[in-house]
Amino acid sequence: MHLLVTGGAGFIGHHLINALYQRYPGVQITCIDNFDPFYDLAIKERNIQPFLDQPGFRLLRVDLGRTSGAELQSLIPEPIDAILHLAAKAGVRPSIENPAAYQQANVVGTQNLLEFAVSKNIHHFVFASSSSVYGINDHFPWKEDEELIPISPYASTKLEGEKLGRHFSEQHNIRFIALRFFTVYGPGQRPDLAIHKFTKAILNGDPLTVYGDGSTSRDYTFVGDIVNGILAALEYKGSEYEIINLGNHYSIPLIELIQAIEKAVGKKAVLQYGPEQPGDVPKTYAEISKAKLLLGYDPKTSLDNGLRAFVDWYLSKN
């Protein structure tokens, strides 16, 4: 089996590659990552390093947003069995400042990859979407058929990716599975994300900024559970187009999250408050019955256990 994984040097991507090697001994993996400098490139280099000597592993440092399907075909002449497309320009707030860059990377990049799939006759395509597409919808928990009200360019690009997938699925016989991830955390989490930033601040005794009154809440999902969902989507042989939530079916207020991190770290936070941030939604909360039905998805990692795993990883790296 030969798989194409995009964004493999990122947080979720490197966990996925590791899981693929454990699940499928002898698998060939081509990884595409443009090493976007959104955060320290040394982190991505460290993420991908363990795989560089694996037999059958190939890393292509390619910008999907600026590489056509035809160019990708020349770079990857071998047959591909499935595409796992995690690559994206990340960050809700930065997308408000530079929406064109997010359009190029996330929408044009996805279209280029879909055109590559057509040219290579690749039937199976798994797409990493985001809970941000729901936006300010207050019908909780969110089901996949809810009205979508994205409030950031990043969220809009993820929704456009889903729509492109529907078109290519209907017109070109591609099974397209869009997985809407809900606030993924765990060892290796990006340094710009809340749990990483909060842990660092508490350990260093630095003030921790809470935006708004602390009542916002998120459906925090452990990376190992997300990866299990992706693997199940890779093996899914049902309908040709599906949108599926991957969350934890439990929304946790920000103040409770901080208290849980304090418990994991063994130290109290120094809090300071700032204004609400543009592009942030007040709450996310996933309905995951569809994921359970179609994928056998069953998240098992409690917040306390997941935070303990993250803190242990953080301390080992700092």
- Distance, CA of 143 to chain centre: 19
In DSSP terms, 181 is beta-bridged to 130, 246
Strands 207-211 and 270-274: parallel
Task: Report CA-CA distances (Å) from 171 to 109, 174, 176, 222, 241.
Answer: 19, 8, 12, 35, 12
Copy the structure tokens of residue 1.
Answer: 């089996």
Residues recorded for the chain: 318
Task: Report CA-CA distances (Å) from 299 to 60, 96, 227.
Answer: 32, 32, 10
CA distance 169 to 172: 6
State the catalytic residue, choosing from 21, 102, 134, 154.
154
Please report, as a single letter, which amino acid is at residue 193.
L
CA distance 187 to 57: 23
CA angle 297, 301, 307 (to 5 degrees): 140
Q: State the burial class of residue 19 (Cβ atoms within 10 Å of its Cβ: 0-12, 13-18, 19+).
A: middle
Identify whether 285 is a catalytic site residue.
no
Catalytic site positions: 154
